[in-house]
Amino acid sequence: MDNISIALDAMGGDHGLSVTVPASIDALERNAELNIILVGDEPQIQQHIKADGRADTVKGRMSIQHASEIVKMDEPLAQALRKKKDSSMRVAIDQVKAQEAKACVSAGNTAALMAIARFVLKTVPGIERPAIVVSMPTELGFCQMLDLGANVDCTPKQLFQFAMMGAVLATCSQGKARPKVALLNIGKEEIKGNDMVKGAHALLKNADDHVDYVGFIESDQIYSGDADVVVCDGFVGNISLKSVEGVARVTSFFLKQEFNRNWYSKLTGLLARPALMRAAAHMDPRNYNGASMLGLNGIVIKSHGGADRVAMRAAIEYAILQVEKDIPAQVKNRVSKLVNLGND
């Protein structure tokens, strides 16, 4: 495959250049086909590259696109969209629009990133709103979960569209010919849930020729593998995701506490260490960092704002996967005719 160029908002996120520069070089060292365009304040970027000391190992595959402004994490949406046209976030997305890059990765302000990406790249025909989707680990592999924060208030038709896009992603990235789609709800019974979820349920039941709609699932089933695609509004999805991250942290905390309780516990922990390390790798949210803004005419990957070096590298590598699978084209080619079912 030809080289893949990715534009990285080098200034975005809680940690900015202290994370984006070393993570970029890590990704370049691991992926020979990758080129990265670091977008942001050029003098500062050059300083961080020099301080890292590995520039020679990726020579010719890392470039800088200067941007004079930064979108702050608490920046008002209107300010970011209308008045900061030379922000690192905007310029990185512009690189995708101009086809200088195949994808954009940013850990910056989520609302601003979505608004700017939607303004610059537009949405695929038939899709009202893009959705944030993440691949979540399950007992049987992975599931695609959306929306995770882009759309707090949704209509049944929009949830239906999310389901269709998620099904396309599951087919492209996981080889699922007829992915199992479920709606996240407070119970499995048809009488459960609000009007939005019930309305989407009615639409999805009529789409059974295109997806294997399995009905409602509850939050404790997300990780069972019962569904390949889990659909919800952004309010519910974001809370679900952050809850999982919190559970992972507190589980790690209690395990460390117990294994350090006395000499016997320390010995037990030492013997269990290999298995615990493997389990931790499966549960570590850093390894799954990178959410796709699905439904745009281009690839935009949202990294967690607090991402460290490991997590940022994971987001960059997720962007590579999206490019290799040409996800926007797959969505455009397949989802429009499916979404029309939601208009019946």
CA distance linking residue 174 with residue 218, whole number of Å: 23
What was the pLDDT predicted at 287?
Answer: 78
What was the pLDDT predicted at 177?
Answer: 82
What was the pLDDT predicted at 336?
Answer: 62
CA distance linking residue 185 with residue 192, whole number of Å: 7
Mean model confidence pLDDT for the chain? 88
What was the pLDDT predicted at 211?
Answer: 79
Q: What's the rounded mean pLDDT across residues 62-78?
A: 92
Residue 283 pLDDT class (50, 70, 90 cuts): low
What was the pLDDT predicted at 250?
Answer: 81
Q: What's the rounded mean pLDDT across residues 194-207?
A: 90
pLDDT at 28 over 60: yes
Share of the chain above pLDDT 70, in %: 93
pLDDT at 262 over 90: no
Q: Which domains does the chain have, with CATH numbers?
A: 1-127+295-328 (3.40.718.10), 128-286 (3.40.718.10)
Provide the β-strand partners of residue 230. 145, 182
**Cα dist. 276→244, 273, 311 in Å?**
18, 5, 20
Task: Supply the pTM of this predicted model.
Answer: 0.87
The side-by-side arrangement of strands in the sheet containing 131-138 is 62-66, 34-40, 4-9, 103-106, 299-302, 291-294, 131-138, 141-146, 229-231, 180-184, 212-217
What was the pLDDT predicted at 290?
Answer: 87
What was the pLDDT predicted at 140?
Answer: 87
Residue 70 pLDDT class (50, 70, 90 cuts): very high
**Cα dist. 86→18, 98, 103, 137, 183 in Å?**
21, 15, 18, 37, 40
Quick: pLDDT tens for 108-161: 999 899 999 999 999 998 888 999 998 888 888 889 999 988 888 899 999 999
273 vs 66, higher pLDDT? 66
Q: What's the rounded mean pLDDT across residues 178-195?
A: 91
Residue 342 pLDDT class (50, 70, 90 cuts): low
138 vs 89, higher pLDDT? 89
DSSP 15: S
Q: What's the rounded mean pLDDT across residues 200-211?
A: 83
210 vs 38, higher pLDDT? 38
156-174 vs 327-339: helix crossing angle, rounded to 10: 140
What is the Cα 326 distance to its own chain's centre?
16
- Quick check: helix, strand or coil at residue 151? coil
Q: What's the rounded mean pLDDT across residues 253-280?
A: 74
